[in-house]
Amino acid sequence: MALIVHKYGGTSMGSTERIRNVALRVAKWVRAGHQLVVVPSAMSGETNRLLALAKELMPQADGPEALRELDALAATGEQVSVGLLALALQAQGVPAVSYGGWQVPIRTDSAFGKARIDSIDDTRVLADLAAGRVVIITGFQGMDPDGHVTTLGRGGSDTSAVAVAAALKAHECLIYTDVDGVYTTDPRIVPEAQRLTTISFEEMLEMASLGSKVLQIRSVEFAGKYRVPLRVLSSFTPPDIDLDEEARSGTLITFEEDEKMERAVVSGIAFNRDEAKVSVLGVPDKPGIAYQILGPVADANIDIDVIIQNVSHSGRTDFSFTVHRNDYARTMALLQSQVLPATGAESVSGDPKICKVSIVGIGMRSHVGVASTMFRTLSEESINIQMISTSEIKTSVVLDEKYMELAVRALHKAFGLEQPAAV
């Protein structure tokens, strides 16, 4: 008997028929003797429906009062799905109770729309589990110190599930989703992409942040911090599939490095075409220049990803970084109006039509030549590299976006990822 947390995404909860399937699956785990806590998302489309209604009434909601109301509103989506799932379980003879985040409570800070979990009280949940009930908790939301409803931001249900698993010291947190695991890259771009049976926490972090949208990155950080074993698996297998088979399916995100395991050098190829590149050219190379450029950008709440500063020549240097494509125009305007006059740089340039492609792998740490294989492969395809950024377990390049698919396919092949992964 183990305490298991299941998380189901919006697609898995998308209709009463699908909710019934979720209940059948959960019931199977209960009947096998496990204690179950389930964290579902809102039914697919529901959060968007609610936010669209809000937008009709307030097209530009950005003050704290408005954000507070948006959170209270959006949170109802999950409150509906937990109630329906509890009824579906009860209808199958499985005792179940649902809670909103505020009832557990899941305590968060007051950053409406992107709140962070401070603590989770396990008293109520443990009492219900001890009484033989499945406990169903709303994903995506909590309550701030003043008793306001908060949401964790899009995809926050993953984070809720992992946080609940951490608080309850669950044996494993199973993230049921519409993909059957983490792949070496997106199979829509590389049909030969292979499912990974395991991936390290660090690699998963890089894959998630680089756009392999299987898991929300904050949930992976949370899992890493509290060492919650996390499994991504399909919610579209038949609910009555053999439990042992289901428990081994998908991709397990691990925290201990398995010495016995022959690890691939590169685990996967991530990519992202949501970014834009901006450069400040001919900046006088003196201390504090990075802050003078990036300070105003950060103050404007624009997230920065890759940052590159070239070595200087003639006392001047070029400074480039990438931002989300939606922030491109705002960033360019900011650089023109504030940064250019303040720094005495020569000019500003930018390109919104770029992509970022990254190779990720814990094996890179001990293997030389991985980056050079990447550069050679791209060169053989005549793809020009615009920026390079490296870390211990990933190497990213910024390319013209038209080369993205070609680059991903070539790299996937170059690193031998089309072979079935070793288990």
Which of 11, 24, 32, 103 is in the footprint of its own copies by CB under 8 A? Answer: 103
The verdict on 62 binding its own copies (CB under 8 A) reads no
Residues in the chain, total:
423
Q: How far is the CB of 50 from its own copies (least distance, A)?
A: 7
3-state secondary structure 161-172: HHHHHHHCCCCE
The verdict on 147 binding its own copies (CB under 8 A) reads yes
Task: With CB under 8 A as the rule, give the number of residues binding its own copies.
Answer: 41
The verdict on 288 binding its own copies (CB under 8 A) reads no
Which of 32, 72, 243, 247 is in the footprint of its own copies by CB under 8 A? Answer: 72
The verdict on 16 binding its own copies (CB under 8 A) reads yes
The verdict on 134 binding its own copies (CB under 8 A) reads no
Q: How far is the CB of 221 from its own copies (least distance, A)?
A: 30
Q: Which stretch binds its own copies (CB under 8 A): 100-108, 255-263, 335-343, 373-381?
A: 100-108
Q: Cβ closer to its own copies: 134 or 210?
A: 134
Residue type, 199: I
Contact between 185 and 412 (Cβ < 8 Å): yes
Q: What angle do CA 125, 251, 390 make, to 5 degrees?
A: 110
The verdict on 87 binding its own copies (CB under 8 A) reads yes
Q: Cβ closer to its own copies: 79 or 396?
A: 79
The verdict on 86 binding its own copies (CB under 8 A) reads yes
Which of 45, 48, 53, 274 is in the footprint of its own copies by CB under 8 A? Answer: 53
Q: Which stretch binds its own copies (CB under 8 A): 54-62, 154-162, 307-315, 398-406?
A: 54-62
Q: How far is the CB of 231 from its own copies (least distance, A)?
A: 27
The verdict on 327 binding its own copies (CB under 8 A) reads no
Q: How far is the CB of 61 from its own copies (least distance, A)?
A: 7
Q: Which stretch binds its own copies (CB under 8 A): 70-78, 161-169, 238-246, 352-360?
A: 70-78
Q: Cβ closer to its own copies: 83 or 284?
A: 83
Site residues, its own copies (CB under 8 A): 16, 19-20, 23, 50, 53-54, 56-58, 61, 63, 65-66, 68-70, 72-73, 75-76, 79-80, 82-84, 86-88, 90-91, 95-98, 100, 102-103, 147-149
